[in-house]
Structure 1
Amino acid sequence: MRTTHRPLTTVALALSLFMAALEMTVVSTAMPTVVGELGGLQSYAWVFTAYMLSSTVTVPIYGKLADLYGRKPVLLFGIGLFLAGSVLSGLSTSMNMLIAFRTLQGLGAGAMQPVSLTIIGDIYTLEQRAKVQGVFSGVWGLAGLVGPLTGGLIVKYLTWHWVFFINVPVGLGALALLVFFFHEQVQHKPQKLDYAGALLLSAGVVALLFGVQGIGRNLPELLLGAVLLAAFVWVERRVAEPVIPMSIFKNPAITISAVAGALFSAAMFGATTYVPLYVQGVLGGSPTLAGGMITPMIVGWPVASLFAGRLLLKTGFRPLIVGGLGLTVIGTGAMALLLKPESSLLIPELAMALFGIGLGFTATSLLIAVQTSVGWELRGVATASHMFFRTIGGALGVGLMGGVVVSQLMKDPSVPLAAANELLGPEHGRGLSPALFQTLSGALGTGLTINFWIICAATVGAFVAGLFFPKVKRREDVALSSTDVAAPH
């Protein structure tokens, strides 16, 4: 059997995560400009939620496939699908096309982050894993620094289409490194994938997403989603190879990590989606300036993550989780209270920095706690389940907030919703009458302010959940050398 080259495999995994991190900042920077060109402000949230929805429902499926058939083929497939979706998104000529191809992109992304993190859990021990977080913290930090600037320059000097094309060289590099330098020995067993569970999970999440965007009008969709997810749990308790084994939630560390992860991800994705929109649509900032509001969060996150990886071996998981979530409450509370149409841009920058630092301490500690709680045979599905709850929280949160914005813009039936697109165009609404501009800008500002309070409430909920996090034994993993990156025989 060929041996795994651990350093180059780590580089490949870092490139995969770099694409995911860069995608967040670059697309958020460009989206107000996209709406200004293509129209469809009412579909603004769907560009993000379609991506998150498709990645959400596939995360646990990819995690299960990685446990059954190995990490490598699943990750290669995911990166390939992500690149195909990126190219097609860049070729889009309408908002509907963009949403469709972002869905395809998300289908690939569903494999990239959880399987990459699972491989890290396979090839590094607990102590090594805590230290290697510095490498991946640097990846997120670099993406946070170059993403907004890159997105702003692309929009200014090229076209927004190129924010998707830049994924291609990075993805091809990751694919090449994984093909030649990552090798694993997997004991294949005849297994039957839980298709019924996967279908019920996907349908339930879709129904919930449509329901939360209705702002009280889509009760049937919410009820349908609840019924489908209840049926999913019923099926998972009875099949031999469930997509998400319900038994893992007997571990309180995994259960509380799922709840806290879903809530802080709703806040995180809400902030990265709607803070740039507020800066460009309400404060009149440029695309580069709007995207730059995310940078303090994405830089603060990896810096805190670096310290968290080193501290958790001394302090344990709980102090870092509770302390980090406390910082997120302070950051989002400041944003909800202080961000006004006449506010200084220093307010969102400081608020997002605190938010990011808190997330860095929290997310790192929760992930390592989950991976430490299970053995190899469940590490893929446990990691994927944790990421699933984080992504479903983000998808539902962004969908709910998108419904809030649209409902505010549609309050006055005499104001055409299409006119709101001009607020985000290159002229920032200069073609609108002063009265119409004031009405639309005020409605957009009101909707986004409500969203900031929703973001704050989500972090408060996560903090409360974190208070119940148990004391997890930080057991020493069995060291895996670069020649034994495989499932046990």
Structure 2
Amino acid sequence: MRPTHRPLTTVALALCLFMAALEMTVVSTAMPTVVSELGGLESYAWVFTSYMLSSTITVPIFGKLADLYGRKPVLLFGIVLFLIGSIASGLSTSMSMLIAFRTLQGLGAGAMQPVSLTIIGDIYTLEQRAKVQGAFSGVWGLAGLVGPLTGGLIVKYLTWHWVFFINVPVGLAALGLLLGFFHEQVQRKPQKLDFAGAALLSGGVVALLFGVQSLGRNLLALPVAAVLLIAFVLVERKVAEPVIPPSLFKIPAIAISSAAGALFSAAMFGATTYVPLYVQGVLGGSATLAGGMITPMIVGWPLASLVAGRLLLKTGFRPLIVGGLGLTVLGTGLMALFLNPHSSILVPELAMALFGIGLGFTATALLIAVQTSVGWELRGVATASHMFFRTIGGALGVGLMGGVLVSHLLKDPRVPVSAANELLGPEHGRGLPADVLQTLSGALGTGLSINFWIICAATIAAFAAGLFFPKSKREPGTSLPTTDVAAPH
């Protein structure tokens, strides 16, 4: 078998994560314009939650498949699916089509993100991994710089459809590099996939998201979610190859990382979804300015992650986790307390910068802690489980906040929600009657302000969970097992 070319494989993995990061910043920048063209502000959150929902459901499934059949085929399948979803999203002519194809795109992301991070854990030792993970966070920083500017220029000079098409050349490059330079040796054994567990998990997560987003209007969804998720736990305790092994959560580092990851992801996705909407819909900023509000977070994240990678082997995990989560509380607290219709644009910029720096310290330490808690045979599912809780936290958080926003927009029956679409257009609703414009602006501002308090509460809860992270420091490994992957060039 040919050996793996580690540098070029690393480039391919970086391209996979770059697509995911660019997708977040570019789509957030373009969404207000999409709504003004396609309509459907009441479905605004679903463009994001459909993507996160489909990736959430499939993350642990793809992680398990990567442990059973190898990382490479699963990752290649995910990239192809992501590209198909991207092209189809760019060709959408209605909000319903966009939501459907974003769901398809999320299915591909459910394989790309956890398997890429798992391969990093396979081909690098802990000492190397701490530095590489920090460098990989630089990919997010680059996307944070390029994304808002690119999205604003695309919306201004082309059409919003092209924010999805830009994934295609990046994805094709990643596919080519992985096919040519990543090789692994996997000892495949006959295994039975846990189809019952996967079905129960999928149904439970879907019902839970519907229940959270409906805010009491759908009373049946939450009980159904509870029944399905309880059944999922019972099934996982009995099957030989569970989708998410319950034994993982007997490890304190994994259990606490899952809880903290879900909470800070709810805050992160909430901020990246609704801060641009606030800037454009309430403060009257341009699409480029709105998308640029994400940049301080995504630039602060990799800078802090680079520092975290160097400090990790000296300080251990806990100081970085607790300190980082403390910074996220400061950032979101600033957002909740001082962001209002009369705020300076510096308020969201400073808040998002503090938030991103805190996430950089926290996310790096949590991920490496999870990966070093298990061996190769469980690293895929452990990484995927961690990503599962992060994505489900983000999906539920954005869904809850979407429900809050829609409930405020529907509060006054005299004003149709469709009128709010004009509020996000290039004229910022100047064609609407004064009383309608005032009512919509007030409802949008109030709903988003409540969402900022929800974001702050999520980071406070994550900080509280981080205080329970074990104080013991795991010793770094000195080498990789020879069965992990073929030796790199």
In the superposition, the TM-score normalised over structure 2's length comes to 0.98
Question: C-alpha offsets along residues 153-209 of structure 1, whole Å, 9 cap, x if unaligned?
Answer: 000000000000000000000000000000000001000000000000000000000
Aligned letter for 1:126? L
Contact 1:123 1:482 in 2 (8 A): no
- Which residue type is aligned with residue 102 of structure 1? R
Q: Match of 2:456, as an amino acid?
A: C
Question: Are positions 1:407 and 2:407 aligned together?
Answer: yes
Q: For 2:424 and 2:455, locate their aligned partners in 1 and report how far apart those are by CA, in whole Å.
A: 23
Deviation at 1:86, TM superposition (A): 0.1
CA distance in 2, matches of 1:363, 1:62: 21
2:355 matched to which residue of 1? 355
Q: Which residue of 1 aligns with 2:70?
A: 70
In the TM superposition, 1:195-206 aligns within 5 A as 195-206=195-206
Give the drift of 1:217: 2.6
- 5 Å-filtered alignment, 1:75-474, equals 75-474=75-474
The secondary structure found in structure 2 opposite 1:353 is helix
Which whole-Å CA distance do the structure 2 matches of 1:81 and 1:364 have between them? 27
Query: 2 CA distance for matches of 1:185 and 1:465?
Result: 38
Q: Distance in 1 between matches of 2:85 and 2:214?
A: 28
> 1:5 touches 1:482 (CA, 8 Å); kept in 2?
no
Cα drift, residue 227 of structure 1: 1.1
Alignment map for 1:36-51 (pairs within 5 Å) = 36-51=36-51
Q: Percent identity, please.
A: 85
Equivalent position SS for 1:74? helix
Counterpart CA distance in 2 for 1:125 and 1:443 is 52
**Residue by residue, what CA displacement relative to the aligned partner does 1:424-471 show, whole Å, maximum 9, x if unpaired?**
111110110111101000000000000000000000000000000012
Alignment pair present for 1:26 and 2:26 = yes
User: 2 CA distance for matches of 1:472 and 1:59?
Assistant: 29
Mapped contact 1:313–1:474 kept (Cα < 8 A): no
- In the alignment, is the contact (CA less than 8 A) between 1:253 and 1:472 conserved in 2? no
Partner SS, residue 216 of structure 1: coil
**Structure 2 counterpart of 1:44, one-letter code:** Y
Which amino acid in 2 is paired with 1:416?
P
Letter in 1 for 2:104: L
8 Å contact from structure 1 (residues 408, 447) kept in 2:
yes
Aligned partner of residue 219 in structure 1, secondary structure: coil
CA RMSD of aligned residues (A): 1.2
Deviation at 1:133, TM superposition (A): 2.1
8 A contact 2:376–2:484 mirrored in 1: no
Amino acid at match of 1:115: V
Q: Shift of residue 218 of structure 1?
A: 2.4
Letter of the 1:160 counterpart: W
Number of residue pairs matched?
Answer: 487
Q: Secondary structure at the match of 2:473?
A: coil
Aligned-partner SS, 1:430:
coil
- Residues 149 and 288, structure 1, Cα contact 8 Å, conserved in 2: yes
Q: Deviations over 1:377-405 (max 9, x none)?
A: 00000000000000000000000000000
Query: After TM superposition, which residue ranges in structure 1, 4 or more long, deviate above 4 angstroms?
Result: 481-484
Question: 1:278-298 CA deviation, whole Å, 9 max, x = no partner?
Answer: 000000000000000000000
Q: Is the 8 A contact 2:4 2:486 kept in 1?
A: no
State how far apart, in whole Å, the 2-side matches of 1:244 and 1:414 are: 48
Distance 1:61 1:137 in 2: 25
CA contact (8 A) 1:304 1:360 kept: yes
One-letter amino acid of the structure 2 residue matched with residue 96 of structure 1: S
Gapped regions of structure 1 (runs ≥ 5): none
Worse-superposed segment, 433-442 or 216-225: 216-225
Show the 5 A alignment for 1:7-26. Answer: 7-26=7-26
C-alpha displacement of 1:484 = 5.8
Match of 2:61 in 1: 61
Structure 1 residue 138: Cα displacement: 1.6
* DSSP-derived class of the 1:256 partner: helix
